[in-house]
Structure 1
Amino acid sequence: MEVITAAGDFWRRVADEVADDLAVDAIDRERAGKPPFDEVARLREAGLPAVLAPPAPDGRGMGWRDASAVVRRIAAADGSIGELLGRHYVLSWSARFFAAPEHAAALEARAAREQWLWAGDTAASRPLPRGDLPGPTLTPADGGHLVLDGHRALPTAVDEADRLVLDAVCAVTHEPVVVVVDARHPGVGRDLSHDRLGQRLAGAGAVRFDGVPVDASDVLGPAGRDEDMTPPHAALAPHALGLMLTQVALGVAEGALAEARDLSRSARHTRPPYDDADLLLAYGELALALHTASAVADRATAAMADALAAGRGLDHERCADAAAQAAMAGAVTARAALLTGERVLALTDADGVDRFWRNILTLVDRGPAGPTMRAIGDHYLNAVGNGSPSPLWPAHYGE
């Protein structure tokens, strides 16, 4: 069971202050579309990047649920920075997912000491085409060293990260491994994205690796492409990220509805807003949709927090349950967020409100819902109350 401390309340108050600061100039910053150097500086000044750690007796650190609440609050003010912080938090746990405990503890201690900001992508690689190695590729070099070559598109903090964590394919074994890369090495090049539909301030782009040295201690472990061979604690990684992005999308939708409410209250109408039945109905439907999504997301977050706290003691059944709940939260939130973003545009027709809609479109999965619904149904029919993991455990949940 994850421990909740007073530190969590403190960091939520800090997040409120940072969010209020970000909201002041959110429209202007989004239009400027500059790399988020100033925004990252605000996060660092507040101390937020370094606080997702096991709560300590002296009050330091916060747990997963508090971190999720912090990300959601930041996302309500600025979806891009909410995503940047949320991905950073999940990636900062990569060593716990993929490395041995002693290795993970040492890496996390250094990351906290040096205040690293993380970026990257640890999604399992697709099956390799015969005769082709997708980048990045990890190759043995003279002297027993490893070098990284290739490229990878990243959704956040391309120019601001201190460390990158990503999949690389070993050129010898053709197996994917998770590696940590010094983002400031001269062999790491960057190409920023300037024409994104939404999440324009997240710092997305591509990174290029040209003979970047990778120490053996920076290879965390197998990337876990084969779910049958992946231990439950490592299988949680993509689902934890998916659930954190659900928090971001939900925060953006909550921010959109709150801004629309403030605009409606201040607008000059021929009759007061509280007398407009259609307006009241619209806000009632949106508030209900977001409250429902929030309840499902909170339940999934509690399940994920408990699963993460179990560490290497996690079993397949609890992993599958956490993954299924994360998938349910993602599905419910996607519907509620898309509805909110679209309706807010019609309700307000105000300058800058379109940023919420564009951010939501960028964040949520708009693909066919059938596969996710079938996977959730399979889990409920074949696993819940049956004492055994779903036969689809765990890779199909949250896709």
Structure 2
Amino acid sequence: MGVITAAGDHWQRVTDEVADDLAVDAIDRERAGEPPSDEVARLRESGLPAVLTPPAPDGRGMGWREASAVVRRIAAADGSIGELLGRHYVLSWSARFFATPERAAELEARAVREQWLWAGDTAVPRPLPRGDLPGPTLTPADGGGRFLLDGHRALPTAVGEADRLVLDAVCSVTHEPVVVVVDARHPRVGRVLAHDRLGQRLTGAGTVHFDGVPVDAADVLGPAGRDEDTTPPHAALAPHALGLMLTQVALGVAEGALAEARDLSRSARHTRPPHDDADLLLAYGELALALHTASAVADRATAAMEEALAAGRGLDHERCAETAAQATMAGAVTTRAALLTGERVLALTDADGVDRFWRNVLALVDRGPAGPTMRAIGDHYLNTAGNGVPSPPWPDHYGE
């Protein structure tokens, strides 16, 4: 796992304390499947949501690598809360991705000052099933100085706990998607929580309904950036940043699973016949190697992402493409390692509660056909890497 720097030693200790606290009753809380109100209260008390914001010249915030280490450590103890924090951190970058630098500075300063917890989803709008409710629509009001937001959106985290939501909405005038910031506490925002999820049961997922929610013009951050030819490189990083952070969450869950299985195997080892030890050592060796390999690839992608984010509006297309490639490779390697680990720990331990790791991994990783991702990686390696050729269309994971 990436290590929090010396300047962040305090937050490493805080992270360890929060993770240890979450691990104590992880099984019971996962089974209860209640909204994460108590867990978010623990996080707010620790100060982690306020510090997990983009780094600023005045010293506030946390860099990408440090934040990834925090999220991964929390995910090892509780995958749901790791995802909640990871999405919060990436969404806190939204103004830098989509708004002007001046607006980003204002919004980030206020978010830290008021200790906002971010939630949301800026996924590409998709056709709705027959009979489904409309997605968010933004309609000008008051001569264009304000807008009204209507519709609904399914969100993966913090539906009942967030202070602000970041969403894409279609403008009713231009019919183009824009990114907006919405006050999640407004009385015209309704919520329906999701129940009985397969995994990641404590993220606070659900559906948010908007009934004429006012949105100030300043909170319309900018175009959602769906046109690959016109999207600036710094904005094109958005889906890959979230994809890479979810990779860290999945890797943390897998590392937590292997650590718990190891502890269970150690405690039961005196009951295991000697001739089984070789098979046990082989199994743990294979899993440890898979996770160490995934960790190395993820850490390299994380370093590349931090450099790309630091470049800001000076980021060029070539570096953006290389960062996207590394994030995608990290996701592919981690998916294989996490799925293998989640499955194997069940057989290694057969212990109460261990199945939560497997279910959480299934909820986090992309279980679609691997071919398109592998072909995109191969295309980048063969036709793009090192020669400046435009990048292929990388998979979009900036959503649930």
TM-score, normalized by length of structure 2?
Answer: 0.94
Residues 107-134 of structure 1: per-residue CA shift (max 9 Å, x gap): 00000100000000012334899xx994
How many angstroms apart in 2 are the aligned matches of 1:142 and 1:165?
Answer: 22
SS in 2 for 1:185: coil
Contact 1:227 1:395 in 2 (8 A): no
Q: Which residue in the other structure is 1:217 paired with?
A: 218
Relative to structure 1, the CA distance from residue 265 to residue 146 in structure 2 (aligned partners, 3 Å threshold; closer, same or farther) is: same
Q: Does 1:107 align with 2:107?
A: yes
For 2:279, give the aligned amino acid: D
Q: Which residue in the other structure is 1:348 paired with?
A: 349
Contact 1:193 1:205 in 2 (8 A): yes
Contact 2:376 2:394 in 1 (8 A): no
Contact 1:338 1:361 in 2 (8 A): yes
Q: Does 1:116 align with 2:138?
A: no
The Cα of 1:384 is off from its aligned counterpart by 1.2
Relative to structure 1, the CA distance from residue 50 to residue 7 in structure 2 (aligned partners, 3 Å threshold; closer, same or farther) is: farther
Residues 232-284 of structure 1: per-residue CA shift (max 9 Å, x gap): 00000000000000000000000000000000000154447796111111000
Q: Which residue in the other structure is 1:228 paired with?
A: 229
Q: Which residue in the other structure is 1:24 paired with?
A: 24
Q: Which residue in the other structure is 1:68 paired with?
A: 68
Q: Which residue in the other structure is 1:297 paired with?
A: 298
SS in 1 for 2:237: helix
Q: Does 1:382 align with 2:383?
A: yes
SS in 2 for 1:35: coil
The Cα of 1:7 is off from its aligned counterpart by 2.9
After superposing the two structures, state which structure 1 stretch, 20-29 or 267-276, moved more.
267-276
SS in 1 for 2:213: strand
How many angstroms apart in 2 are the aligned matches of 1:184 and 1:397?
Answer: 29
How many angstroms apart in 2 are the aligned matches of 1:209 and 1:55?
Answer: 32
How many angstroms apart in 2 are the aligned matches of 1:154 and 1:110?
Answer: 23
Q: Which residue in the other structure is 2:174 paired with?
A: 173
The Cα of 1:50 is off from its aligned counterpart by 1.3
Contact 1:133 1:171 in 2 (8 A): no
After superposing the two structures, state which structure 1 stretch, 269-278 or 166-175, moved more.
269-278
Relative to structure 1, the CA distance from residue 107 to residue 143 in structure 2 (aligned partners, 3 Å threshold; closer, same or farther) is: same
Residues 201-240 of structure 1: per-residue CA shift (max 9 Å, x gap): 0000000000000100000000011111100000000000
Contact 2:54 2:93 in 1 (8 A): no
After superposing the two structures, state which structure 1 stretch, 225-234 or 46-55, moved more.
46-55
How many angstroms apart in 2 are the aligned matches of 1:108 and 1:119?
Answer: 14
Relative to structure 1, the CA distance from residue 373 to residue 53 in structure 2 (aligned partners, 3 Å threshold; closer, same or farther) is: same
How many angstroms apart in 2 are the aligned matches of 1:5 and 1:114?
Answer: 26
Contact 1:158 1:206 in 2 (8 A): yes
Q: Which residue in the other structure is 2:307 paired with?
A: 306
Q: Which residue in the other structure is 2:163 paired with?
A: 162
Relative to structure 1, the CA distance from residue 388 to residue 170 in structure 2 (aligned partners, 3 Å threshold; closer, same or farther) is: same
Relative to structure 1, the CA distance from residue 199 to residue 127 in structure 2 (aligned partners, 3 Å threshold; closer, same or farther) is: closer
Q: Which residue in the other structure is 1:192 paired with?
A: 193
Sequence identity (%): 89
How many angstroms apart in 1 are the aligned matches of 2:127 and 2:314?
Answer: 29
For 1:120-139, list aligned pairs within 5 A: 120-126=120-126, 134-139=134-139
TM-score, normalized by length of structure 1?
Answer: 0.94
How many angstroms apart in 1 are the aligned matches of 2:230 and 2:124?
Answer: 13
Contact 1:372 1:398 in 2 (8 A): no
For 1:346, give the aligned amino acid: A
Relative to structure 1, the CA distance from residue 58 to residue 153 in structure 2 (aligned partners, 3 Å threshold; closer, same or farther) is: closer
The Cα of 1:16 is off from its aligned counterpart by 1.1
How many angstroms apart in 1 are the aligned matches of 2:253 and 2:215?
Answer: 37
Q: Which residue in the other structure is 2:374 paired with?
A: 373
Relative to structure 1, the CA distance from residue 322 to residue 273 in structure 2 (aligned partners, 3 Å threshold; closer, same or farther) is: farther
Contact 2:239 2:396 in 1 (8 A): no
After superposing the two structures, state which structure 1 stretch, 46-55 or 102-111, moved more.
46-55
How many angstroms apart in 1 are the aligned matches of 2:54 and 2:88?
Answer: 16
Contact 1:254 1:290 in 2 (8 A): yes
Contact 1:90 1:240 in 2 (8 A): yes
The Cα of 1:9 is off from its aligned counterpart by 3.0
For 1:182-331, list aligned pairs within 5 A: 182-267=183-268, 269-271=270-272, 276-331=277-332
How many angstroms apart in 2 are the aligned matches of 1:20 and 1:274?
Answer: 35
SS in 1 for 2:261: helix
- Unpaired stretches in structure 2, ≥5 consecutive residues: none
How many angstroms apart in 1 are the aligned matches of 2:318 and 2:128?
Answer: 29
Residues 344-378 of structure 1: per-residue CA shift (max 9 Å, x gap): 00110100000000000000000001111111111
Contact 2:68 2:248 in 1 (8 A): yes
Contact 1:7 1:60 in 2 (8 A): no
Contact 1:136 1:152 in 2 (8 A): yes
- Unpaired stretches in structure 1, ≥5 consecutive residues: none
Relative to structure 1, the CA distance from residue 59 to residue 98 in structure 2 (aligned partners, 3 Å threshold; closer, same or farther) is: closer
